[in-house]
Every structure is written in structure tokens, then in C-alpha cells.
Amino acid sequence: KEQLNDLDLLGIRVSELWLRPPANTEARVIPQDVSGLNLQEEYVTVRCQCEQRYTNTNTFQLESFEVRVMSFWGNTAGALRASLGHYLPSDAQVLELLDDDQMLALDDEDSLPERVTVTEFRGRMPFYMKFSRDQALFFLIQVLDFMKKPGLDARLNKLMEESSNFRAYNAHVTKLLISEVYPLVAETLGLPTEGTISSEFFGQALERVASLDRLVNEIELTVTLGLKTWLAARSCLDAGNRLRHLEGEPPREVPEYPFLSWSPDHFLAFCDQKCNLAKAIAEAHKGPPRLQSEQPTLV
């Protein structure tokens, strides 16, 4: 048997997979010194041409984009797919241009050339990657440090007062992070500035490791609860509970914010209401409100 790392890909020839319970769960401690993190992981940069773009009237049409494929995933077409996630549809092909100008469809196990063509693509950004565990920890630690700034609570309260609902408040918080956190992280990790100073980039870069690693997930949940960005907190809590289930642990609940455990429809209805946090939380402790679709109808 060969031990796999969290982000290893399974080949199509794998017939059995054995799971071993974690030997020690006490090791999930936030690093106090980021200098011990390996932020400069080896990688290859792949230039991708788009044969067909997912477009509508509000979507920027990409002709090409770059992907930073981290070495811990290997240098294969499957690693490229993992780096692009849902932006590359599962039935889209990754093509290599051969010397005779013919296009070769690459299987997931095939080596990855420096340039490829994808037959379909649903992204809008010019640059993509997935963070390593250490890179994700560094990013989240920077956000935690930002949350310790004097006067931040007052700034967040003011943003909440000015927001029409919790979704709008989430957008205001994102602008704060774009201005005060993301540029430092991008510079430290050596990322191109074009297309990376955005919530979409950092969200897609973080999502895979945060859904596989308990420590990263728990720090992200702490961050989202502290910033009161409920949509991100709900997603993070769901991912963490899937990991807890795999380890034989009960799901985590957040008693002070019961709406995070409501059904998707009730939760989204909560996020669409006016940002009176104290009143909203007090009402939430009474249980989810009746939706319009649940209202009784006269016959």
C-alpha cells in the first residue's frame, strides 16, 4: 500500500482505497511564525487557449489564460483539471498541438506540455491556481492579523448599517480585503497582479485545500464567523462537517448563529434580510421563519 497526500490524484487503474483514522488530531494548531511555512512551492505554468468560452452578456470572453500547476499534484493533464476545478467542465478536452499540427486529446495521466488548448472553459480570470496547505495557512493568518486591527469592529458595524442586506454587507467586507489583505498575499506568493486581487481568485485558490484539511477549514471558519460573512461561513461549516463525518465525529454546530444550520432556502432568505444583526439573531433563535412558499393558501 502507498500512502497518499491530501491533494494526490487517484488514477483510473486504482481498484482499492484504504482509509486510516488520524493518529493525532491535537496537531491542528495555528502556526505562530509564518517564517516556517513553505510559501514557494515548485510549480509549472501552463498557457491555455480557449476553443469555446462560456459566455453571456455579462461574461468577459477569454481567449487564453494561465494556470500555475503546483508540483505536489504532479505535471499531468489531471493536475491541470484539479487546478481549474469547476471552471473546466468534466467533458471538456485538454488538447496538445503536435509537430504535424494535429491535436492530441490528453488523458489525465499524460504529461502536461507548456501550452494546451481546452475545448470548453467557464472561467473569466486570466490566472488560476490552487494554494498548497502552507500557502492557504499564510493567507488565512494574514486575514486573522487584519481582524486584530484597532477599530475594525467599528468599521464592520458601520458597513453593516449601510448595507441593504447581509449579501451586500459581504460585498463590502470583500472590498476591505481586496484593499488591505490580498495585495500583500499576492506579492508574498509571487502572483501576477492582474486577475488575482479579487475574491473570486482567492476563493478558488483556497477552496480545495480548505475542503480537505481540517486545520485550514477551522481557521477559515474562524475568519468567516469573525467577519460575519455568512455565505462563506455556511459553505465552510458544511465542508468541515463533511471532514468530521469522514473521521467519525459528529457535525459541528454554531449555537450563537443557528441560521447557519438551516435549510438552504431558509438560510438564503436570512441573508437577504436587512442587516440588523442583533434583531436577526434574536429572531433566528426562535427558529427559521416561514417562507413565502410555505404560507398557507386559501382554497
For the stretch 239-296, pLDDT in tens is 999 999 999 999 999 999 999 999 999 999 999 988 788 888 899 999 998 887 766 6
In whole angstroms, what is the distance from residue 215 CA to residue 17 CA?
Answer: 24
Separation in Å, CA 273 to CA 137, 153, 166? 33, 21, 7
Distance between CA 173 and CA 179 in Å, rounded? 10
- Residue 177 pLDDT: 96
DSSP 166: H
Q: Distance (Å, rounded) from C-alpha 170 to C-alpha 212?
A: 25
Integer Cα distance of 223 and 208 in angstroms: 17
Buried b (16+ CB within 10 A) or exposed e, 25-52: eeeeeeeeeeeebebebebbebebebee
- Are 263 and 288 in contact by the 8 Å Cβ rule? The answer is yes
pLDDT tens by residue, 77-117: 999 999 999 999 999 999 999 988 899 999 999 999 999 99
Say if residues 138 and 211 touch (Cβ distance below 8 Å).
no
| Residue 157 confidence (pLDDT) | 92
Comparing 178 with 19, which gets the higher pLDDT?
178
Of 16-20, 51-55, 84-88, minimum mean pLDDT range: 51-55
| Percentage of residues of the chain with pLDDT beyond 70 | 86
Q: SS3 letters for 32-66?
A: CCHHHCCCCCCEEEEEEEECCECCCCCCCCCCEEE
What is the mean pLDDT of the segment spanning 185-212?
91
Q: What is the DSSP letter of 76?
A: B
Under the banding of pLDDT at 50, 70 and 90, the label for residue 54 is: low
CA distances to 44, 80, 96, 109 from 106, rounded to whole Å, are 17, 11, 7, 8
The more confidently predicted of residues 5 and 35 is 35
- Three-state secondary-structure class, residue 87: helix
How confident is residue 60, by pLDDT bands cut at 50, 70 and 90? very low
pTM over 0.85: no
Q: What percent of the chain stands above pLDDT 90?
A: 65
Would you state the pLDDT for residue 240?
A: 96
- Per the model's pLDDT, the better-predicted residue between 62 and 85 turns out to be 85
Take residue 89 and report the three cell numbers written for it: 467542465
Instruction: Report the pLDDT value the prediction gives residue 56, as an integer from 0 to 100.
Output: 52
Least confident of 123-127, 227-231, 260-264: 123-127
At 195 the pLDDT is: 78
> Which has more pLDDT, 177 or 208?
177
| Average pLDDT of every residue of the chain | 87
Domain locations in the chain? 37-129, 133-279
Q: How far apart are CA 173 and CA 228, in angstroms?
A: 9
Q: What is the pLDDT of residue 5?
A: 60
Q: Which CATH number fits domain 37-129: 3.10.20, 2.20.25, 1.20.1630, 2.40.50?
A: 3.10.20
How many angstroms separate the Cα of 160 from the Cα of each of 84, 110, 134, 167, 169?
A: 34, 50, 32, 10, 6
Residue 25 has pLDDT above 50, yes or no: no
- Ramachandran area for residue 224 (φ above 0: left; ψ -120 to 50: alpha; else beta): alpha
The pLDDT of 24-34, averaged and rounded, is 62
Is 170's pLDDT higher than 60?
Answer: yes
Beta strands at 94-97 and 115-118: parallel, antiparallel or unpaired: antiparallel
Q: Work out the pLDDT band at 24, boundaries 50, 70, 90.
A: very low
SS3 call for 209: helix
Backbone CA torsion sign across 26, 27, 28, 34:
positive
Report the pLDDT value the prediction gives residue 23, as an integer from 0 to 100.
47
